[in-house]
Amino acid sequence: MKVLVACEFSGVVRDAFLRRGHDAVSCDLLPTENPGPHVQGDVLPLLDQEWDLMIAHPPCTYLCSSGLHWNKRRPERAALTEEALQFVLTLLLARIPRIALENPIGCISTRHRKPDQIIHPWQFGEDASKATCLWLRNLPLLVPTNILPGGRKARRANQTASGQNKLGPSPERAMERARTYTGIAEAMAEQWGGL
């Protein structure tokens, strides 16, 4: 399978597909953290190439619910949300037979459509909570592979006692939060790579 992993600098999803023998390439404005097939730059020119599957992780800074309240106070942010939504739609409408786009809960759900599925890392063997929406085209829902005890009520290793994310403000916070958990990447490669 020829797989494009859009907006991924970590290489986690790309490498899960590579391990299963697929021709997988990641693309991001940032260099890859893990050596492997990676295009550093804009993903849009790559959308016209022949791909069997694209898994896209567009930046969520201006799309996720946790930041949208700033749009009323800072009009320039509202314009950036519109640009981000246009980018998401361009990815979703690409001429690629199978597409998965992931993002946190946010305005894609209200401005485009509801996600096909919402997953958490703890459903895939990771001691972490992070609601992740999936918008899918010609792909089945991801089946949880290793549900950890406690379900959604359990406090996970990445949470404070009140349920907030433990990562404090820092220049690296967005990058740390953007990484796909290995358990989810492995499930994507295992379940979608065999189609």
145-185: pLDDT as tens digits: 999 998 877 877 766 665 666 556 666 756 666 689 999 99
Average pLDDT, the chain: 88
Summarize the confidence of residues 8-21 as an average pLDDT. 98
Intra-chain end-to-end CA distance of the chain, in Å? 9
For residue 152, the model assigns a pLDDT of 79
Task: Evaluate if residue 32 carries a pLDDT over 60.
Answer: yes
Indicate whether 52 pLDDT > 90. yes
pLDDT in the model for residue 147: 94
DSSP character at residue 46: G
Cβ–Cβ under 8 Å, residues 142 and 191: yes
The pLDDT value recorded for residue 170 is: 64
Tokens (6 digits) for 165 = 């994310």
Strand order in the sheet with 23-28: 38-40, 23-28, 2-6, 53-56, 98-103, 132-137, 117-119
> For 53-62, how does the pLDDT look when each residue is reduced to its tens digit (9 = 90+)?
999 999 877 6
Beta carbons of 165 and 128 less than 8 angstroms apart:
no
C-alpha span between 80 and 48 (Å, rounded): 25
Percent of the chain scoring above 90 in pLDDT: 64
Domain coordinates in residue numbering, the chain: 2-192
pLDDT at 80: 83
**pLDDT per residue as tens digits for the range 35-50:** 999 999 999 999 999 9
Single pTM value for the model: 0.89
| Predicted confidence (pLDDT) at residue 142 exceeds the cutoff of 90 | yes
Would you say residue 20 has pLDDT above 70? yes
pLDDT of residue 158: 66
Is the predicted pLDDT of residue 126 greater than 70, yes or no?
A: yes
* CATH C-level class of 2-192: alpha beta
- Segment 84-103 shows an average pLDDT of 97
pLDDT band at 21 (very low <50, low <70, confident <90, very high): very high
